[in-house]
């Protein structure tokens, strides 16, 4: 189960979200997650998969369906793989924390969503 | 060519022009009145805030990463907020202000944030590494 502060966060900031489990993994699906400018669509469904042990175990990667690409055609690193989850094909954004980056007891879905937003801004044309 | 008819009475065009000018004047007066009211309201709020600042005797209670801090300053920069926890928040993490009902705002080190009770901040890893595929 998700910690109560994660549930509160999702209820406040991720309208229409769905939390399910698949093979022991908690799946958080945010429909029509709004994307920053510079991508080929304004929104896409966002999937986060939380391994058993979360929140002590950090999240790893995230997924979009439909796939998210830059408007200028430049390929975003480590986003070309496709994976099946929840009966759909997803674009995998392969992203990993190094040891110690995720602070158990402090980090949460709130910080992970903030990080995803930040990474999307960096991946967009003109992002740093 | 005169705009009056033979008897010297205003023509239809003159009447329309007069009505147009009157309408313009009325709209201008209403606009000025609205601006005056907005300015008065802004000044009233500013004075109230200033009074609250001057009279405030107790510290503001804010939270960073769910830990409570009491601060006496009316404004703190991002760098000052980062220095509140022990150990301080390092550059490997970003600082965000929780915006109820909106997108949480990333706070830059030089950015000034106005303090108020219940203000909440959180930190997040500043980056994550792309995989090989």
Tell whether A104 is within 8 A of chain B (Cβ): no
Task: Give the residue carrying structure tokens 């369906």.
Answer: A65
* Sequential DSSP letters for B53-99: HHH--S-EEEEETTEEEEE--SEEEHHHHHTSSSSPPPTTEEEEE--
The pLDDT mean for chain A works out to 96
Nearest to B128 among A106, A110, A119 (CB): A119
Q: Please count the CA atoms within 13 angstroms of the CA of B1 that sit on its side-chain side.
A: 1
Q: Could you give the ipTM of this predicted complex?
A: 0.90
Tell me the pTM.
0.80
Q: Is residue B71 within 8 Å of residue B115, measured between CB atoms? A: yes
pLDDT of A114 higher than 90 = yes
pLDDT of B2 higher than 60 = no
Residue of A nearest to B123 (CA): A111
Structure tokens belonging to residue A108? 């949460």
Nearest to B96 among A12, A94, A114 (CB): A114
So what's the pLDDT on residue B3?
52
Contact call for A78 and B132, based on CB within 8 A: yes
Tell whether A112 is within 8 A of chain B (Cβ): yes
* Listed range (A64-78, B7-21, B109-123) with the worst mean pLDDT: B7-21
Nearest to A111 among B100, B123, B132 (CB): B123
Contact call for A114 and B129, based on CB within 8 A: no
pLDDT tens, position by position, B92-115: 999 999 999 888 999 999 999 999
Task: Identify all chain B residues contacting A112, using CB atoms and an 8 Å cutoff.
Answer: 124
Among A107, A104, A62, CA closest to A85: A62
Residue of B nearest to A34 (CA): B103
User: Cα–Cα distance between A97 and A95 in angstroms, integer?
Assistant: 7
Contact call for A111 and B122, based on CB within 8 A: yes
Nearest to B130 among A94, A112, A114 (CB): A94
So what's the pLDDT on residue B4?
58
3-state SS assignment for residue B5: coil
Structure tokens belonging to residue B108? 């830059």
* Sequential DSSP letters for A12-75: HH-TT-EEEEETTEEEEEEEEEEPPTTBSSSEEEEEEEE-TTTTTSPP--EEEES---BTT-PP
Q: How large is the average pLDDT for residues A55-80?
A: 97
Task: Give the residue carrying structure tokens 């998210």.
Answer: A68
Q: How large is the average pLDDT for residues A23-32?
A: 97
pLDDT tens, position by position, B25-43: 999 999 999 999 999 999 9
Query: Which one is predicted more confidently, A22 or B9?
Result: A22
pLDDT tens, position by position, B49-82: 888 777 777 899 999 999 999 999 989 999 999 9
So what's the pLDDT on residue A25?
97
Q: Which one-letter DSSP state was computed for residue B4?
A: B
């Amino acid at each position: 189960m998700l910690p109560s502060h994660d549930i509160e966060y999702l209820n406040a900031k991720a309208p229409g979200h769905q939390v399910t489990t698949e093979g022991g993994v908690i799946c958080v699906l945010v429909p029509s997650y709004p994307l920053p400018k510079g991508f080929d669509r304004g929104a896409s469904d966002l999937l986060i998969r939380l391994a058993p042990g979360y929140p002590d175990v950090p999240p790893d990667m995230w997924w979009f369906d439909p796939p998210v690409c830059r408007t200028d055609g430049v390929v975003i690193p480590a986003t070309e793989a496709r994976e099946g989850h929840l009966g759909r094909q997803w674009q995998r954004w392969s992203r990993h924390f190094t040891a110690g980056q995720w602070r158990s007891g402090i980090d949460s879905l709130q910080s992970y969503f903030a990080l995803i937003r930040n990474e999307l801004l960096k991946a967009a044309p003109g992002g740093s | 060519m005169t705009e009056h008819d033979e008897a010297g009475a205003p023509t239809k065009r003159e009447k329309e022009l007069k009505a147009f000018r009157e309408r313009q004047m009325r709209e201008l007066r209403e606009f000025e009145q609205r601006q005056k009211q907005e300015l008065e309201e802004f000044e009233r709020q500013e004075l109230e805030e200033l009074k609250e600042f001057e009279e405030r005797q107790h510290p503001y209670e804010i939270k960073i990463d769910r830990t409570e801090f009491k601060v006496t300053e009316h404004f703190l920069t991002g760098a000052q907020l980062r220095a509140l926890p022990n150990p301080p928040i390092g550059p490997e993490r970003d600082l965000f202000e929780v915006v109820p009902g909106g997108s949480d705002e990333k706070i830059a080190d030089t950015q000034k944030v106005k303090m108020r009770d219940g203000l909440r901040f959180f930190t997040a890893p500043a980056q994550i590494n792309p995989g090989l595929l």
